Structure 1
Amino acid sequence: MKKKLLATILTGLLLAFTACGSLESPVIPEVTGTAIENTQESVLENAETETASQQEMQTETATTGKVEITTEDFEGSSDPENAERKYTYTYQVPKITIEGNEEAQDKIQKDLNAYVETFLDSINNSDFGTVYEGEMSGMTSYEELSFQVIRADDKVISVVWGNEGYNQGAHGWYIQDYRNYYTQTGEKITFDSLGNGFRDKALELVTKKAAEMQATDDCFFPDYEKSIKLVVLDGTENMDTIYQEIYGADIAGTGNGPASPTFSITGDGFVFESGQYVLQPYAAGIVDFEIPAEDFGDALTVDIF
Structure 2
Amino acid sequence: MKKIFFAAVFAGALLGFTSCGNREMVTDPEMETVIDSIKETQSGQTTEETMAGTEETAEVSTQTEPTEGQSEIQGSEWVQFTTEDHEGSSDPEDKTRSYTYYYPTVTVTIPGNETVQMKIQKELDEYVDSFVEGIENGEFGTLYEDMPVYEQSYEDLTFRVIRADDKVISLSWGLEGYDQGAHGWYTLYYMNYYTQTGERITFDSLGSGFRDKALELVTAKAAEMQAKEDCFFNDYEKSIKLVVLDGTEDLNAIYQEIYGPDIAGTDNGPADPTFYITEDGFVFESGQYVLQSYAVGIVDFEIPAADFGDDLTADIF
Residues 165 and 172, structure 1, Cα contact 8 Å, conserved in 2: yes
Structure 2 unaligned segments of length 5 or more: list them. 1-9, 26-55
Q: Secondary structure at the match of 1:251?
A: coil
- Percent of matched pairs sharing the same residue: 64
Q: Does 1:110 align with 2:127?
A: no
Q: What residue in structure 1 maps to residue 105 of structure 2?
A: 93
1:19/1:235 CA distance change after superposition, 3 Å = farther
Q: Which is bigger in relative contact order (C-alpha 8 A, separation at least 6)?
A: 1
Q: Does 1:293 align with 2:305?
A: yes
CA distance in 2, matches of 1:189, 1:197: 15
* Runs of 4 or more consecutive aligned structure 1 residues displaced over 2 Å after TM superposition: 12-26
Q: What residue in structure 1 maps to residue 144 of structure 2?
A: 132
CA distance in 2, matches of 1:175, 1:194: 25
Residues 245 and 275, structure 2, Cα contact 8 Å, conserved in 1: yes
Q: Does 1:15 align with 2:14?
A: yes
* Structure having the larger proportion of residues in helix: 2
Q: What residue in structure 2 maps to residue 63 of structure 1?
A: 75
Q: What residue in structure 2 maps to residue 7 of structure 1?
A: none
Q: Which moved more, 1:295-304 or 1:122-131?
A: 122-131
Q: Does 1:233 align with 2:245?
A: yes
CA distance in 2, matches of 1:242, 1:207: 17
* Shift of residue 66, structure 1, vs aligned partner: 1.5
Superposed CA deviations along residues 39-62 of structure 1, whole A, max 9, x for unmatched, are: 99xxxxxxxxx6164111111111
CA distance in 2, matches of 1:115, 1:265: 20
Q: Which of residues 200, 223, 227 in structure 1 aligns to 2:212?
A: 200
Residues 24 and 295, structure 2, Cα contact 8 Å, conserved in 1: no
Superposed CA deviations along residues 119-153 of structure 1, whole A, max 9, x for unmatched, are: 11111111111111122342111100000000000
Following superposition of structure 1 onto structure 2, how do residues 138-157 of structure 1 map, counting pairs within 5 Å?
138-157=150-169
* Shift of residue 222, structure 1, vs aligned partner: 0.4
Scaled by the length of structure 1, the TM-score of the pair is 0.86
Q: Does 1:82 align with 2:81?
A: no
Q: Does 1:248 align with 2:257?
A: no
Higher Rg: 2
Q: Which of residues 178, 196, 201 in structure 2 aligns to 1:189?
A: 201
CA distance in 1, matches of 2:304, 2:73: 28
Superposed CA deviations along residues 267-305 of structure 1, whole A, max 9, x for unmatched, are: 000000001111011110110000000100111101000
1:273/1:127 CA distance change after superposition, 3 Å = same
Q: CA RMSD in A?
A: 2.2
Q: Does 1:159 align with 2:158?
A: no
Q: Which amino acid aligns with 1:227?
A: S
Q: Secondary structure at the match of 1:206?
A: helix
Q: Secondary structure at the match of 1:250?
A: coil
Q: Which amino acid aligns with 1:162?
A: G
1:39/1:221 CA distance change after superposition, 3 Å = closer
Residues 208 and 311, structure 2, Cα contact 8 Å, conserved in 1: yes
**Number of residue pairs aligned between Structure 1 and Structure 2:** 276
Q: Which amino acid aligns with 2:14?
A: L
* Shift of residue 255, structure 1, vs aligned partner: 1.4
